[in-house]
Amino acid sequence: MYVPSFSRTFVRIFMKSKFDFKDKDFSERQPHYQFDMPKISIRGTEMPSSPIRKLAPLAEDAKKRGVKVYHLNIGQPDLPTPKVAIDAIKNIDRTILEYSPSQGYRSYREKLVHYYAKYDIHLTADDIIITSGGSEAVLFSFLACLNPGDEIIVPEPAYANYMAFAISAGAVIRTIATTIDEGFSLPKVEKFEELINERTRAILICNPNNPTGYLYSRREMNQIRDLVKKYDLYLFSDEVYREFIYTGSPYISACHLEGIEDNVVLIDSVSKRYSECGIRIGALITKNEEIRKAVMKFCQARLSPPLIGQVAAEASLDAPEEYGRDIYEEYVERRKCLIDGLNRIPGVYSPIPMGAFYTVARLPVDDCEKFCAWCLSDFNYEGETIMMAPAAGFYTTPGAGKNEVRIAYVLKKEDLVRSLFVLRKALEAYPGRVDNNA
């Protein structure tokens, strides 16, 4: 018979209290209670630290010492949020900041329908659920579609928080390797099928990709479609970087794939395209009504997405075309500056990212996590240093990405140029430098 943990604890306490009813001095004797120390949950123990933020204490310490830190570790754009969004917040005309609907304001969802139509993604407002950032959209997708123990196939390296969300949902990430030497392109379909078993429930992609900047080709997207259809899987597609594609190749959304409309869950966010990371507004989009009904239960449990965030996000849809064009052109210039500069540093290699605003670079060091920590704790050049994200945190395969870093080109070009110079000096001084060509 199952005994609740509280009851088991009570029994242990009772049995350990040594009352001696024959003792005449019973009134002077005090029972001795022994409490077991509470333990952290398995989820809490297994939850990985963020490779993007885990070195933040070292960066703060460096700043306290007067060292300037160039933040290449996190995808926080430094470009301005649309003025229409800032004005909308300033001009809020409400006497109460009330709960918003659990699905998000309908006016915002209806405007999003027109936004997606520009990308040949045809929706109704009811297909869209507003979430507290893209992160909540991923988590709710997992919670609604997966049972504990179900498996998700994810190309690695992958956005580190996918693992955290899978742990939260009790799901299991199974990774399929992509490599820097092959530009992080997908392997052949046979590699996917080697991972598929009776517990496989979904494939998760990020397109354009974080952390690699890779853009999936039409062939690769069709390959994924065929797998989803053949094995009746869900396809979770994180497409928050669709505005940032730098090649002539077309953007192929999961929503463009024919024959799997009810299998697709699209993840989106305004954080990157409008420099609005802090308003925490995302979206979960699917044609599958059963998924939406399940997701809505979780949405109702968390009550509502941010009211003020939706005000800003809805206003951002009215930003002038030149806003998006200027942002895009700036990232094109930054990408060229960073990739050219990285590949001119002896021993460093980065493929050319085709989308987003990240790249994964291989460095001539023994361990990039140690190197990144050393840059913050033991190194500075003329009072400056750099902060990068060790790429091993974007892999689940032990040892993978050990000599790689993810770099976000979210700084102005002058700062990128200086960061590259400081990186070169750090590599020259680092005691754990190795020869990648050896």
Which residues contact residue 257 at a Cβ distance below 8 angstroms, ignoring those fewer than 6 apart?
221, 222, 224, 225, 228, 235, 264
Asked if 45-79+321-429 and 96-316 have one fold, the answer is no
User: Do 237 and 253 form a contact (C-beta atoms < 8 A)?
Assistant: yes
Q: What is the total residue count of the chain?
A: 438
pLDDT, residue 4, reads: 37
Residue 410's CB: how many other CB atoms inside 10 A? Answer: 22
For 103, how many CA atoms within 13 A lie in the half-sphere containing its CB? 16
Say which CATH class 45-79+321-429 falls into. alpha beta
**Assigned CATH topology for domain 96-316:** Aspartate Aminotransferase; domain 2 (3.40.640)
Instruction: List per-block mean pLDDT (blocks of 10 residues) for the chain, which spans 438 residues.
Output: 36 40 48 70 83 87 98 93 98 96 98 98 98 98 98 96 94 96 94 96 98 97 97 98 94 97 98 96 98 98 98 98 97 98 98 97 97 98 97 94 97 97 98 76
Short-list 121, 118, 202, 198, CA closest to 165: 202
Q: Domain ranges in the chain? A: 45-79+321-429, 96-316
User: How big is the CA angle at 298 (ends 294 and 301), to the nearest 5 degrees?
Assistant: 140
User: Do 53 and 74 form a contact (C-beta atoms < 8 A)?
Assistant: yes
Sheet containing strand 404-408, edge to edge, reads 358-362, 404-408, 389-390
pLDDT, residue 48, reads: 79
- Residue 183 corresponds to which tokens in the numbers above? 């530009």
pLDDT, residue 38, reads: 83
How far is residue 6's CA from residue 324's CA, in Å, rounded to a whole number?
57
